[in-house]
Chain A
Amino acid sequence: MQFIPNILFIIALVAGVGFFIRNSKKIIRNIKLGKKVDVSNNKKQRWNNTIRIALGQSKMVVRPIPGILHIFVYVGFIIINIEMLEIVIDGVFGTHRVLSFMGGFYDVLIASFEILALLVIVGVALFWTRRNIVHIKRFVMKEMKGWPKLDANLILYIEFVLMVLFLLMNATDYQLQLKGAEGYHVAGKFPISGMIAPWFENMSISSLIIFERSAWWLHILGVLVFLNYLYYSKHLHIILAFPNVYYGSVDPKGKFPILESVKKEVEMMMDPNADPFAAPAEDQGEEDSKFGASDVMDLTQAQLLNAYTCTECGRCTSVCPANITGKKLSPRKIMMDTRDRLEEVGKNIDANNGEFKPDDKQLLDDYISREELWACTTCNACVEACPVSINPMSIIMSMRQYLVLEESAAPAELNVAMSNIENNQAPWPYNQMDRLNWRDEK
């Protein structure tokens, strides 16, 4: 009988972690639906970016208030996870505060966890206020209605509850230590929960133990639930931000990648020795024959990873010139749509034994409209603003390429400009021979 809690704990742990691994595999599979990207270059720069932007949160503090609050919550969560190690060992072996042999250092650890927990509570409360009371514009826009709003609040509620449980667990544990209860040896310093411990002074040891155990169990179960909630949530960024920044561009923002498939064709056309009747090489594969992207499978793995990483913070949209002036385009929505469609494709694959069954839908038109795509000025403001190195513009560009190269569906005025470029080397109807006329004009 005595081992039942240990066994229950191990079952919960294995189930929680197992389910998480299962979903992680799905995410990886879905991302791999995209085209491979080469990130073997500039390794040093990539690591640098990862440390500076993902770990160091350098882009978050561009907006100081949310930046600092975010650092509270972020540091709090990372550090308090060290405590998880102890909780897991205690849970498996039925020990009490197994790491307390570290003595003074343990006291310092527990004390700093407590202070961080309080900072997380403060941060989370202020974040909630910003979202629900202050109504900051980027949090109340169209694409944030419904699930995205609930998701954002749920994350805050869960974090709040976890921190409160953590402090209650410590407070009752501390009280039990003071009362010299069996199995509760004296360990740790409790600067925060020590202040609420007196509330429990008059409780009997047996009710205190029930209280402490409940808080302990709810906390660890809550953590396992939260771990599995990530998959359904924008909160995935706490893990994916790291690979996403690593995979991000290390080039100047103005450098757009070249479409290799087009390059081959252009080289053929420009090469006077090429045989115009030669059959296209067979080994090029099917995928290569489509230019640009009309659905998620046409995007790159980096672009799909971007979609899963998006925190829906809206910093991109709040600086987008098109969005600011009332156009439909919102770079955040581009990322959310891409993720939603990718999820839909993933579910389709799950339901059809690992094979995607065409569903008469695609990212273009069913999720992202042409009007949105054509409103982008390629100004890179969204890319600059994103705290986790997402590039919404690159998806817009891939989809424009599809529209122009596969459907010839550019707005009429752009077709005029492009045929001018093709015929007389300038977007306007002037003759190339007149390019130097300005020299002699007064």
Chain B
Amino acid sequence: MSNTLHVPTMAEFVAKGEKPEILFWVGCAGSFDDRAKKITKAFVQILNKANVSFAVLGSEEGCTGDPAKRAGNEFLFQMQAMTNIEVLDGYEVQRIVTHCPHCFNTIANEYPLLGGNYEVMHHTKFLKTLMEEGRLKVEGGKFKGKRITFHDPCYLGRANGEYEAPRDLLKKLEVELVEMRRCKSNALCCGAGGAQMFKEAEPGNKEINIERTEEAAGTEAEIIATGCPFCNTMMTDGVKGIKREGDMQVLDIVEMIANAEDL
């Protein structure tokens, strides 16, 4: 990993009288969660390498309101949304890329209902576009031939019908992609959605992330690839829960692309 990341803010762009190509929406997990911050950095590395002109909002970014909305707090959600829309519109933002499917879904689908209209992309889709435009080269390297399974995040897959972009990227990495029985539109949730991330689960006989991680382990994959910081946390905990942290890893696709060339 190269150490110097170039991460300009929107405010800095405006001060220079310029506009970036895209706004990178980092999200709460991407900003504060130690594991997710690594995904954020991996994505920035790639943006830097592909010479994408981008900016972040930094301290002007606030929670999209997704967990509040799914918890039933429509009031708080709309307050968050309105505040963010004001900031985004203030900067005349048009294109947004994020590595969090929850932020993606909320801004793309629900902000328009409150007057915020942007072109929003999940990072896997954006990376695929970069690749197709020849701005980014994705190839096997370190992951070539490795047995990998992809866990579909609910808010990317079922919620928005995006199943192919992440798989296309994995193919470019020349991995051996093995699907779980429940995949794509039938994928099983990791257990984090609907604000479950922030509370204990209701009484039952198993944790959802354990059920899902066991299924992933059943494919004998070395790596569980995913595209959501919350899935990442749940699956990482799941791998620990079934005591497989020695031989199984959970990685975001963008981390795989960033790391493919190292070693």
Contact = CB atoms under 8 A, between A and B. Distances in A.
Contact of B191 (A252, A258, A321, A416): A321
Nearest to B28: A426
Interface string B153-175: 01100111100000000000000
A262 interface: yes
Interface in B187-229: 187-189, 191-208, 211-212
Contacts of B160: 252-254
A401 B65 CA distance: 14
B31 interface: yes
Given A400-B72, A436-B7, A438-B40, A417 B82 contact: no
A327 B193 contact: no
Interface stretch (A42-50, A99-107, A346-354, A378-386): A378-386
Given A374-B202, A405-B72, A432 B7 contact: no
Interface stretch (B88-96, B109-117, B123-131, B138-146): B109-117
Interface string A425-440: 1111010111111110
B68 A266 contact: no
Nearest to A267: B82
Nearest to A378: B194
Contact residues on A (Cβ < 8 Å of other chain), bracket: 35 or more
B188 A381 contact: yes
Interface residues of B, number: 72
B49 interface: no
Interface string A264-298: 01110110000000000000000000011000000
B70 interface: yes
Contact of A254 (B7, B59, B159): B159
A39 interface: no
Interface in A399-441: 399-405, 410-411, 413-414, 416-418, 421-422, 425-428, 430, 432-439, 441
A438 B208 CA distance: 30
A345 interface: no
B110 A256 contact: yes
Given A256-B110, A379-B193, A428-B28, A326 B204 contact: yes
A22 interface: no
B72 A403 contact: yes
Given A404-B71, A404-B73, A378 B193 contact: yes
Interface in B1-58: 3, 5, 7, 9, 26, 28, 30-33, 37, 40-41, 56-58
B58 A418 contact: no
Best-surrounded residue of A259, A325, A397, A426 (most CB of chain B within 10 A): A325
B188 A327 contact: no
A319 interface: yes
A254 B155 contact: yes
A413 B211 CA distance: 23
B23 to A, nearest CB: 14
B191 to A, nearest CB: 6
B249 interface: no
Interface string A353-384: 00000000000000000010011111111011
A266 B31 contact: no
A263 interface: yes
A108 to B, nearest CB: 40
A266 B78 contact: yes
Given A322-B208, A421-B65, A421-B68, A435 B199 contact: no
A380 B202 contact: no
A442 B3 contact: yes
Given A325-B206, A381-B189, A432 B79 contact: no
Contacts of A435: 26, 31-32, 57-59, 61
Contacts of A403: 72
A377 B196 contact: yes
Contact of A263 (B41, B72, B114, B187): B114
Best-surrounded residue of B113, B160, B199, B212 (most CB of chain A within 10 A): B199
A38 interface: no
A251 interface: yes
A321 B208 contact: yes
Contact of B208 (A377, A380, A427, A442): A377
B201 A327 contact: yes
Contact of A384 (B72, B186, B203): B186
Interface in A200-243: none
A417 B198 contact: yes
A322 B69 CA distance: 19
Contacts of B158: 253-254, 379-381, 383-384
Nearest to A373: B72
Nearest to B187: A381
Given A262-B75, A414-B198, A251 B206 contact: no
Contact of A378 (B9, B70, B113, B161): B70
A403 B62 CA distance: 25
Contact of B114 (A258, A400, A427): A258
A405 B73 contact: yes
Given A325-B204, A325-B206, A439-B5, A427 B73 contact: no
A266 B82 contact: yes
B63 interface: yes
19 contacts: A254-B105, A256-B110, A262-B75, A325-B206, A328-B203, A375-B201, A375-B202, A377-B154, A379-B193, A384-B158, A399-B72, A402-B72, A410-B72, A414-B198, A416-B198, A418-B68, A418-B73, A427-B28, A430-B32
The 4 A-B pairs with the shortest beta carbon distances in the complex, nearest first, are A254-B159, A400-B72, A326-B205, A378-B194
Given A291-B74, A426-B62, 9 more contacts: A255-B109, A266-B78, A326-B204, A371-B202, A377-B208, A399-B72, A427-B63, A428-B32, A435-B26
Interface of B: 3, 5, 7, 9, 26, 28, 30-33, 37, 40-41, 56-59, 61-63, 65, 67-76, 78-80, 82, 105, 109-110, 113-114, 154-155, 158-161, 182, 185-189, 191-208, 211-212
Interface of A: 251-259, 262-263, 265-267, 269-270, 291-292, 319, 321-322, 324-329, 371, 374-381, 383-384, 397, 399-405, 410-411, 413-414, 416-418, 421-422, 425-428, 430, 432-439, 441-442
